[in-house]
């Protein structure tokens, strides 16, 4: 766990990276599935051109890993690549979400501005 | 096409009269080949009480309606037939959604898989082929953009990629 903690230190997430990690949770998902999930109700929808570079960055940061799917049908279609969140990914996501919750709590209790000013 | 329309009418009327659900959702009759329509056969009783197998295409709508009303048509056969047609149609769509030619050799397998899944969805929705080709090209441009961006970014991103 401490190794995971060390790896997760100092990793920053962009808004899209956070969205992808939140969507994936603990399940395996392929590109089109992630794209559909993200674009439901999103004000500005994203395409493959934004999704894949973001997945690549997450992979380089060690926050997601992938494996080939075994769902190739009898018609001989191409295999799909399934992405899954790693231990570091879950730790980083939890930290970011905790921070967002703290911000929300502060705004609800009226301590959002300069305390004591 | 005339036979397909006849079949469709018959199934609709049978559904109404027999109150037996015949699930035809997902079947795009316009796309079915003639080889399927010639197999549309029903069992009917002739004047002597003998069981005959008759092709739907040989019967007029009025004749079929009379047979249905008298209970001489075996609805299970139409049910089975519609399931068979759906299976064949589904396999046909998967085959059709595959990316062939130079593009299949050029594209990464994962991206080919994604494009094929997209095309399969469009074919099931009955989108026109030209529209599918244009949209495939549009998504290909997105993938090309992703490819170039990944190549550039990988020049300075630290390498933690799994082996």
Render pLDDT for A34-67 as a digit per residue (tens, 0 to 9).
Answer: 999 999 888 888 999 999 999 999 998 899 999 8
Q: A8-17: per-residue pLDDT in tens? A: 567 788 889 9
CB of B88 within 8 Å of any CB in chain A? no
Query: Is B15 in contact with B79 (CB distance < 8 Å)?
Result: no
**Cα B128 to Cα B77: distance, rounded to the nearest angstrom:** 31
- Across B8-22, average pLDDT: 55
Q: How many residues does chain B have?
A: 163
B124 to chain A, minimum CA–CA distance in Å?
16
| Confidence class for position B156, pLDDT limits 50, 70, 90 | confident
Alpha helices in chain A (DSSP H): 2-8, 15-24, 31-39, 48-60, 87-109
A39 in B contact zone (CB under 8 Å): no
- Which bin fits A9, alpha (ψ -120 to 50), beta or left (φ > 0)? beta
- Predicted model pTM: 0.63
Hey, are the CB atoms on B114 and A30 less than 8 Å from each other?
yes
Which residue has better confidence, A87 or A74? A87
**Residue B99: its chain A contacts at CB < 8 A?**
78
Sorting pLDDT into bands at 50, 70 and 90, what band is B22?
very low
Looking at per-residue pLDDT, the higher value among B42 and A89 belongs to: A89
The answer to whether B114 contacts chain A (CB < 8 Å) is: yes
Q: Do B146 and A30 touch (CB under 8 A)?
A: no
ipTM above 0.85, yes or no: no
B4 vs A2, more confident: B4
Answer whether A66 touches B (CB < 8 Å): yes
pLDDT higher than threshold 90 for residue B161: no
Answer whether residue B34 shows pLDDT above 50. Answer: no
- What's the rounded Cα separation, in Å, for the pair B78 and A7? 62
Enumerate the residues of chain B whose CB falls inside 8 A of the CB of residue A59.
Answer: 160-162
Q: At what angle do helices A48-60 and B129-153 cross, to 10 degrees?
A: 30
Check CB contact under 8 Å for B113 and A81: yes
Please return the burial class of B1, using the count of CB atoms within 10 Å of its CB with bins 0-12, 13-18 and 19+: exposed
């Amino acid at each position: 766990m401490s190794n995971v903690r060390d790896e997760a230190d100092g990793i920053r997430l962009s808004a899209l990276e956070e969205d992808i990690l939140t969507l994936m949770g603990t399940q395996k998902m392929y590109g089109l599935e992630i794209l559909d999930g993200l674009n439901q109700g999103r004000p500005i929808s994203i395409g493959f051109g934004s999704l894949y570079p973001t997945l690549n960055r997450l992979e380089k940061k060690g926050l997601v890993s992938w494996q080939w799917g075994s769902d190739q049908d009898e018609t001989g279609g191409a295999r799909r690549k399934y992405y899954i969140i790693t231990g570091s990914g879950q730790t980083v996501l939890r930290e970011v979400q905790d921070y967002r919750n703290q911000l929300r709590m502060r705004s609800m209790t009226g301590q959002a501005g300069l305390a004591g000013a | 096409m005339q036979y397909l329309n006849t079949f469709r009418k018959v199934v609709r009327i049978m559904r109404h009269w027999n109150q037996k659900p015949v699930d035809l959702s997902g079947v795009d009759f316009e796309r079915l080949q003639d080889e399927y329509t010639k197999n549309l056969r029903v069992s009917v009783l002739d004047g002597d009480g003998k069981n005959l197998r008759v092709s739907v295409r040989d019967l007029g709508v009025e004749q079929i309606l009379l047979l249905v009303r008298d209970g001489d048509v075996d609805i299970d056969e139409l049910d089975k037939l519609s399931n068979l047609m759906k299976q064949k149609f589904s396999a046909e769509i998967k085959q059709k959604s595959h990316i062939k030619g130079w593009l299949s050799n050029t594209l990464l397998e994962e991206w080919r898989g994604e494009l094929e899944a997209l095309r399969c969805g469009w074919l099931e929705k009955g989108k026109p082929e030209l529209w599918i080709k244009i949209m495939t090209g549009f998504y290909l441009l997105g993938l090309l953009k992703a490819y170039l961006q990944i190549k550039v970014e990988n020049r300075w991103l630290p390498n933690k990629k799994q082996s």
